[in-house]
Chains A and B, each alone.
Chain A
């Protein structure tokens, strides 16, 4: 009879665990719902307040109208031109800043003298907003796409270089000992120890750089450009076409979200050893 009792116990245990699992899943679903709920609530509130004229519909046009404007602008094809050119500048500028930053950061992290030499330069130049240098950049490179890329690159460079150097410098000493003891020479050391060891911190720097790139592109296109999302926002504002301005703003916010997701995915692929 003992087996009978045991069986009942077993079944009960499974039932208990199953219930817990269901509860956990419900909680997870609630969490997802809440994450979606906050922007939806904001939009609904905005819509209602704007329609009832509690807030000034001239400054805050109802979201449904903004969406309507978006489709109108999209239909004319104009929007995609602006979007495409901005994307081109963002990606170009981002790479122009990130690639040298990674290289310099790795070398700074690996070789102490290089670090001591460049550290004060990086620290001194970092607080200068690249946007403040925009007039000079425009004089040198003209109102070209390249001048925007340079501006973005200048802002992206610093967080990435600092994080990369810190990432290498903070690799646990025991891995350096292992590498040395097992005969790793400079090239292998670079690719098997320094680069992967620095990767997690480096990617956080790149994530920061991406956010800064978006902030920079809008401002840069407001100042010296004849196209792009920033230009669209600025001209719409000056012409008091606030609905069009909001379309530009929302697109930028969407870009930010999209790039973050992309980098998050990249992180999963590049750092498979971190769970």
Chain B
């Protein structure tokens, strides 16, 4: 751990001010994430997870504090986001959606073709490349989103509950697929979820948040060896204990929020 962290967040605070009322969405967030680490941000809904990700994605400005993402190459985009459902653009085909980031950065045509083909193949959408999003299923749409982000080859990946709207089965399949693709690239990932199971399966480290105000309250290392399988995590007694521990923690966080 001699290297500088890939993502460094210092005293990040975000307050929404509306009609003389201030809502503290994030309060004094401090977090550093190492290169190649897969970190899950876990917390009840409304605790500011999306807000934090949108700030890192450059879509919103913090009220106070700062963050830094370490660059390795100036041709690389800093970050790419995988959005909560609906993130694929309906008037572009599957293929055009995957190529979107590369095209917007005006990469050479051959690079675009190569990258797009590679990730279309990876997510199993090669035969569907000419279809529009309205013609494919929800799971396939999220595959498009994943392929688009990886094809863009950013420094870090940000994912905002990408599987929340999927049915259980599709969710498991996509989680494993994501791990497979990720293990090849070893990109740094900050992944948001409110599902404990999902966090246990995916992450090297889980960062727990509480609500009102959104704060980091605890961190947990998950050192189950990879590659991981849904069944293996489910049947691991160690993970069962972790599940209950996190569950209890979230319960108390929710109770506290209710009382205040």
Contact = CB atoms under 8 A, between A and B. Distances in A.
B91 to A, nearest CB: 4
Given A172-B86, A273-B90, A273-B132, A188 B57 contact: no
A259 B112 CA distance: 41
B116 interface: no
Nearest to B77: A183
A272 interface: yes
Nearest to B59: A177
Nearest to A193: B89
Interface string B89-116: 1111000000011011100000000000
A68 to B, nearest CB: 50
Pick the most buried of A172, A183, A192, A199: most chain B CB atoms within 10 A of its CB.
A183
A192 B83 contact: no
Contact of A180 (B59, B87, B132, B133): B59
Contacts of B80: 181-182
A196 B91 contact: yes
B87 A182 contact: no
B104 A183 contact: yes
A137 interface: no
Interface in B136-190: 148, 152
Contacts of A181: 57-59, 79-81
Contacts of B100: 178, 182, 192
A185 interface: yes
Contacts of A22: none
A184 interface: yes
B92 A192 contact: yes
Chain A interface main SS type: helix
A273 B133 contact: yes
B101 A183 contact: yes
Interface in B39-93: 57-59, 77, 79-81, 83, 86-87, 89-92
B240 interface: no
Interface in A236-258: none
A175 B85 CA distance: 12
B104 A174 contact: no
A183 B103 CA distance: 9
A188 B101 CA distance: 11
Interface string A185-203: 1001000110011010000
B238 interface: no
B59 A275 contact: no
Given A181-B57, A184-B104, A275 B83 contact: no
A178 B134 contact: no
A183 B105 contact: yes
B83 A177 contact: yes
A180 B104 CA distance: 10
Interface in A220-275: 271-275
Nearest to B102: A182
B104 A185 contact: yes
Given A182-B80, A196-B91, A274 B104 contact: no
A184 B77 CA distance: 12
B245 interface: no
Contacts of B148: 182
A175 to B, nearest CB: 6
A182 B104 contact: yes
B135 interface: yes
Contacts of B104: 179, 182-185, 188, 192
Given A181-B81, A182-B101, A274-B134, A197 B91 contact: yes
A175 B89 contact: yes
A182 B83 contact: no
A180 B79 CA distance: 11
Nearest to B91: A196
Contacts of A192: 89, 92, 100, 103-104
Given A182-B101, A184-B104, A272 B132 contact: yes
A178 B89 contact: yes
Interface string A12-32: 000000000000000000000
Nearest to B100: A182
Interface of A: 172, 174-175, 177-185, 188, 192-193, 196-197, 199, 271-275
Task: Sort A-B residue pairs by CB-CB distance and give the 9 closest, nearest first.
Answer: A182-B101, A273-B132, A196-B91, A183-B104, A184-B104, A181-B81, A273-B91, A182-B104, A183-B105
Given A178-B83, A193-B89, A273-B92, 20 more contacts: A177-B59, A177-B81, A177-B83, A178-B100, A181-B57, A181-B79, A181-B81, A182-B101, A183-B77, A183-B101, A183-B105, A185-B104, A188-B104, A192-B104, A197-B91, A199-B91, A271-B91, A273-B132, A273-B133, A273-B134
13 contacts: A174-B83, A177-B59, A178-B81, A179-B104, A180-B59, A181-B59, A181-B79, A182-B104, A192-B89, A192-B92, A192-B100, A193-B89, A275-B134
